[in-house]
Amino acid sequence: MAPKESPLIIRDKNQMRKWSRTMRSQGNIIALVPTMGYLHQGHLSLINEAHKHANLVAVSIYVNPGQFSPNEDLSTYPSDFQGDIQKLLSVPGGVDVVFNPINLYDYGEIDSGGEGVVVVEGDQVVSCIEKSGLGHETWVRVEKLEKGLCGMSRPVFFRGVATIVTKLFNIVEPDVAVFGKKDYQQWRVIQRMVRDLDFSIKVIGSEITRENDGLAMSSRNVHLSPEEREKALSINKSLSRAKSAAKDGQVQCEKLKNLVIQCITEAGGIIDYAEIVDQHSLEKKEFIKGPVVFCVAAWFGKVRLIDNMEINL
């Protein structure tokens, strides 16, 4: 297939909305792939998936400050916009438009500059948006699904994700949106949000893309030292062992969790969580009696990695 022309780059949200409405009025189906940039093969696989469901593909590149708390890695999150565009040119079928807004929380209003604080169950939870005093105070919450797993150590994260995805959906107005299953909880949160708020958007979950050695692709992998990266392979290896053990009849979740925790800890990782949960409700399970997903988050050095593996007995 001949390489596609460079995508149209749009930074203004009104222009983005106008483009989408014009394209849809001509009978086109639009797929959106939301990203925070620093694209890798995992992102490109989402675009390949998007082409299966639409004839026009939009990719958003926006590092969302609303999902970072002040002590997280917003300031060091990697970016390479020109490199991203070059990678998009390599995708079969290409990308039609890249939405790269400067700030989706700047409304052109005079703000008092005060720090906003959102109180959640008695605890103050402050995001980078609130610390910056930009006046944004409307948040989307998916109350049950956001609480466990990553929500335990990142209380700001999922309301930030749900809010920015809602904004992107309202601006781009896609027919289809594609998310990676590596961020399993995020995918399920967005699915539930779309269902509950009656968005007319089909949410697709795309399988995890891994390096040749099994490490799940992530923009944060660049921060791993060679030694840390080698140790991080323990995540996928231990998940694979747990899945094999489950297929061989070990359905007691505590024993499977201990297997994974021990493997990662012995490799030098620090466990954030290791949980076996229902694939849809994300509720913890004691025994595997139906489709579950084994979700893990672990620190290697200063890098927090997440991975998961579905188990369908």
Per-domain residue ranges of the chain = 8-206, 221-312
pLDDT in tens, the chain (313 residues): 445 689 999 999 999 999 999 999 999 999 999 999 999 999 999 999 999 999 999 999 999 999 998 888 788 889 999 999 999 999 999 999 999 999 999 887 644 343 333 333 344 567 878 766 568 899 999 999 999 999 999 999 999 999 999 999 999 999 999 999 999 999 999 999 999 999 999 999 999 999 999 999 999 999 999 999 999 999 999 999 999 999 999 999 999 999 999 999 999 999 999 999 999 999 999 999 999 999 999 999 999 999 999 999 8
Could you tell me the strand order of the sheet in which 303-311 lies?
270-278, 292-300, 303-311
- Report the relative pairing of strands 123-125 and 8-10 from DSSP bridges: unpaired
Determine the Cα–Cα distance for residues 287 and 139; give it in Å rounded to an integer.
35
Nearest alpha carbon to residue 180 among 49, 66, 312: 49
| Predicted pLDDT of residue 108 | 75
C-alpha count within 13 angstroms, C-beta hemisphere, residue 252: 4
Protein fold of 8-206: Rossmann fold (3.40.50)
| Predicted pLDDT of residue 74 | 86
Tokens of 217: 């692709």
- Report the relative pairing of strands 176-180 and 30-35 from DSSP bridges: parallel
Instruction: Exactly one of 40, 43, 51, 136 is catalytic; name it.
Output: 43
Determine the Cα–Cα distance for residues 202 and 182; give it in Å rounded to an integer.
19
- Report the relative pairing of strands 97-99 and 56-61 from DSSP bridges: parallel
Determine the Cα–Cα distance for residues 117 and 225; give it in Å rounded to an integer.
36
Residues whose CB falls within 8 Å of the CB of residue 121, separated by 6 or more in sequence, listed in order: none
| Predicted pLDDT of residue 115 | 38
53 is catalytic: no
Residue 290 burial (CB count, 10 A): 12
| Predicted pLDDT of residue 198 | 98
| Predicted pLDDT of residue 112 | 39
pTM: 0.91
| Predicted pLDDT of residue 131 | 66
Mapping DSSP onto H, E and C, the string for 282-293 reads CCECCECCCCEE
| Predicted pLDDT of residue 5 | 80
Residues whose CB falls within 8 Å of the CB of residue 290, separated by 6 or more in sequence, listed in order: 278, 313
Cα angle: 83, vertex 88, 89; to 5 degrees? 100
Q: Could you say which of 3.30.1300.10, 3.60.20.10, 3.40.930.10, 3.10.250.10 is the CATH number of the domain covering 221-312?
A: 3.30.1300.10
